[in-house]
Structure 1
Amino acid sequence: MVRWGWLREAVVRLRQGWVPVAEATLAATVAWLLATRLVGHPQPFFAPAAALIVLGQARGQRMRRAIEVVLGVAAGVLVADLVVQALGPRSTGTVFTVILLTVALAVAIGASSVSVVQAAVSALYLVVVSPPTESLVPFRFVDALIGGAVAVVASQLVDARRPLAPLVAEFRRTFDGMAEVVEEVATALADRDDAAARAALDRARGLDAGVERLRTAVLAAGEALRLNVRRRRHIGRLRTVDASVAQVDYAVRNVRVLARAGVTCNRLSSPVPDELVTALRVLAEAVRAAGEALAADLDGAESAADRHAEQADAAALAAVRAVGRLFTQGHTLPLAVIVGQVRATAIDLLRGVRADDDAAVLARVDEALGLPPL
């Protein structure tokens, strides 16, 4: 039974992760064919190897990594050639000297860990497996160039028509996750369910991973747009969204603190006001609307983006007004924390979807909360 369960999980993982499998297989095979048929190299080890190394990097970093792989191979080949000519191939002293000089050179010039490893592996391969000769040295560099170029092209094939689509999907996923946590906190408070409140807190702690995926998606979209000449005009829109990611990060932190306060509030003997539950559900609506506004803006649907931004604005301020009426003298500290986090989340949402400056957003939210102007 356990064995079949593992098989089902493996099938699910393959269905979800078939794109990297297809990319790696296609890129390595094409790189090998180009190096053997086009260049005529009988042993083009570095072509498929470079393709796999580049595709092993996160999206948004592959162009840079492709360049680093090519430079790493060039540095490794140069060092290996010089040392082998001086000390001879396949000796302990040669291996020691090549690795020492290659790694030291890469570290001295500030190369990344990928470049350091690639340079060392390239040099070691030439010393131990295939000692360089004058006629073969250029082929190593060309092989790495072919593999890196093929990997970059292969990584863009899936999203070539809609390079911003993965980023749009990630925005929706992140904001839906935040909204669901807020709704779960509201439900846990309404039902006085301590287990549900703790579950909401656990889920809130996992939202940070969504922010990291969002940052990676922004980098990947930027790389895809730079490689897609016809769609480079969207780069300006991407810069605007990139600035919004910081506000998303702040909103995620606020939701996490709100969930933690919900756990504490649920353990108190005093009843939870129904108005607080309603306010949290309205705040969840604001979170969803803000996510739809940012996604629509990325899609170029300006009218839809404006409509969702208005909905987010209205819902966020309504949630703030509702908790503001609850925040009177004598209320518990956990309730005060929730009120504060509703306010902070509303500020971050409005900063993300509105063109207003920070002072204007802060003034509007504090006015809704009932605070006197500064």
Structure 2
Amino acid sequence: MVGMGWLRRGAGRLRQGWLPIAEATLAATAAWVVDTRLIGHPQPFFAPAAALIVLGQTRGQRMRRAVEVVLGVAAGVLVADLVIEALGPRGTWTIFTVILLTLGLAVAVGASTVTVVQAAVSALYLVVISPTTTSLVPFRFVDALVGGGVAILVSQLISARQPLAPLVAQARELFGELCTLVEEIADALERHNEPAAREALTRARGMDATVDRLETEVTAAGEALSLHIRRRRDLHRVHAVDASTRQVDYAVRNVRVLARAAVTLTRLPAGVPADLIVALRSLATAVRAAGEALAADLSMDDATADRRADEAERAALEAVRLAGGLFSTGPPLPLIMIIGQVRATAIDLLRGVGGGDDAEVLGRVDAALGLPPV
């Protein structure tokens, strides 16, 4: 039974991680073929090695890291080859000189930590392990560049036809989870159920990972469009999402505070006003509509994006209006906190869907809350 459980877990990990495996295998093999068949290098170790190093970088930062790693590996290889030619292989002074020059060169040009380490390891491999041959400088230098270039191309194959699809999916996932979370808070308050409210708070505390994934996909989409000549004109859509990501992060934090206040409110003996439940459900509708507006904009469906943005604004302002009406009843402190977070979440949603400048958004939200204009 233990063995079968391990096999099932292993199969599950393979299902989730098959894409990086396929990318790395294809890139390393293609780099080997290019170096042996097209360039004619008989032992192109550094071509597949550089491909694997590049694809090991974080998705979303792969392009910038790829350039750094390729240059770092290539520099380490070049320095090592030149020193070996002058001092010979596997000697103490050779190792000392290679490491000193490689690290010094990498640090002098301002390379990242990853680049410095890769350059040093590549150089050390040549000195200690790699067999000695003649005239290897151009081959090994080109090997690293070929491997890195092939890795960059392979990493873009999956997203070549639909470079924005992963970002659209991640945006829908984040807003879908946030909408469900607000609905769960509303349900917990309606049933006056403290355990359910605590469960919603636990979910809210785990939302940061979803925001991080959205930020990663924004960066990855920007990289993919930069390499896609015919789709570079769509970069402004990714930039718009990038600008709204901070507001989305704020909205997630606001809902987390809202969930914490909901736990306290369910512990009080008094019932929860019905208008608060309606306000929270309206806020959930606004979250869902904001997510659909963002996804439609990325899918270049501007008409749907505008319509969904209007729906988000109407629902958010209705939530604020209903919550603001509860001030007249002299609400307890936890309820006041929830009202404040409904207002803050509405503001961040409207900013996130391009609802106007800050003054306009604040004016509309505070008007819905019943506050006099400033």
Change (3 A) 1:141 1:82: closer
Corresponding residue of 2:306: 306
CA distance in 2: counterparts of 1:85 and 1:234, whole angstroms: 50
Corresponding residue of 1:104: 104
Q: Deviations over 1:268-322 (max 9, x none)?
A: 2222212212211111111010000010011011111111111111110111111
The answer to whether structure 1 residue 146 and structure 2 residue 151 are counterparts is no
Corresponding residue of 1:122: 122
CA distance in 2: counterparts of 1:221 and 1:282, whole angstroms: 32
Which segment drifts farther, 317-326 or 51-60? Answer: 51-60
- The one-letter code matched in structure 1 to 2:216 is T
Corresponding residue of 1:270: 270
CA distance in 2: counterparts of 1:177 and 1:275, whole angstroms: 23
Which segment drifts farther, 79-88 or 226-235? Answer: 79-88
Secondary structure in structure 1 of the residue aligned to 2:59: coil
Change (3 A) 1:311 1:2: farther
- The one-letter code matched in structure 2 to 1:44 is P
CA distance in 2: counterparts of 1:274 and 1:13, whole angstroms: 45
Which segment drifts farther, 61-70 or 153-162? Answer: 61-70
Matches within 5 A, 1:203-352: 203-328=203-328, 330-352=330-352
Q: Deviations over 1:310-367 (max 9, x none)?
A: 1111110111111111123632111111101100000010111134111001000000
Change (3 A) 1:267 1:92: farther
Matches within 5 A, 1:68-87: 68-85=68-85, 87=87
The answer to whether structure 1 residue 59 and structure 2 residue 56 are counterparts is no
Change (3 A) 1:154 1:78: closer
Asked if 2 retains the 8 angstrom alpha-carbon contact of 1:73 and 1:140, the reply is no
Corresponding residue of 2:12: 12
Asked if 1 retains the 8 angstrom alpha-carbon contact of 2:81 and 2:136, the reply is no
Corresponding residue pairs, total = 374
Question: Structure 1 length as normaliser, TM-score?
Answer: 0.95
Matches within 5 A, 1:30-45: 30-45=30-45
The answer to whether structure 1 residue 202 and structure 2 residue 202 are counterparts is yes
CA distance in 2: counterparts of 1:332 and 1:92, whole angstroms: 76
CA distance in 1: counterparts of 2:71 and 2:134, whole angstroms: 19
Change (3 A) 1:97 1:317: same
CA distance in 1: counterparts of 2:330 and 2:108, whole angstroms: 63
Change (3 A) 1:279 1:238: same
Question: Structure 2 length as normaliser, TM-score?
Answer: 0.95
Compute the displacement of 1:65 (Å): 2.3
Compute the displacement of 1:87 (Å): 4.2
Compute the displacement of 1:264 (Å): 1.6
CA distance in 2: counterparts of 1:101 and 1:276, whole angstroms: 67
Q: Deviations over 1:124-176 (max 9, x none)?
A: 01101226655111111111111111111111111111101111111100111
CA distance in 1: counterparts of 2:223 and 2:198, whole angstroms: 39
CA distance in 2: counterparts of 1:81 and 1:245, whole angstroms: 46
- The one-letter code matched in structure 2 to 1:280 is L
Asked if 1 retains the 8 angstrom alpha-carbon contact of 2:73 and 2:118, the reply is yes
CA distance in 1: counterparts of 2:186 and 2:111, whole angstroms: 50
Change (3 A) 1:335 1:75: same
Which segment drifts farther, 230-239 or 102-111? Answer: 102-111
The answer to whether structure 1 residue 174 and structure 2 residue 174 are counterparts is yes
CA distance in 1: counterparts of 2:132 and 2:280, whole angstroms: 68
CA distance in 2: counterparts of 1:60 and 1:262, whole angstroms: 36
Secondary structure in structure 1 of the residue aligned to 2:328: coil
CA distance in 1: counterparts of 2:45 and 2:322, whole angstroms: 66
- The one-letter code matched in structure 2 to 1:124 is L
CA distance in 1: counterparts of 2:291 and 2:139, whole angstroms: 50
| Identity, % of aligned positions | 70
Compute the displacement of 1:63 (Å): 2.2
Asked if 1 retains the 8 angstrom alpha-carbon contact of 2:163 and 2:225, the reply is yes
CA distance in 1: counterparts of 2:307 and 2:154, whole angstroms: 37
What 5-or-longer segments of structure 2 have no aligned partner?
Answer: none
Asked if 2 retains the 8 angstrom alpha-carbon contact of 1:32 and 1:48, the reply is yes
- The one-letter code matched in structure 2 to 1:67 is V
Asked if 2 retains the 8 angstrom alpha-carbon contact of 1:84 and 1:131, the reply is no
Compute the displacement of 1:194 (Å): 1.8
CA distance in 2: counterparts of 1:67 and 1:141, whole angstroms: 14
- The one-letter code matched in structure 2 to 1:207 is M
Asked if 1 retains the 8 angstrom alpha-carbon contact of 2:60 and 2:221, the reply is yes
Change (3 A) 1:148 1:347: same
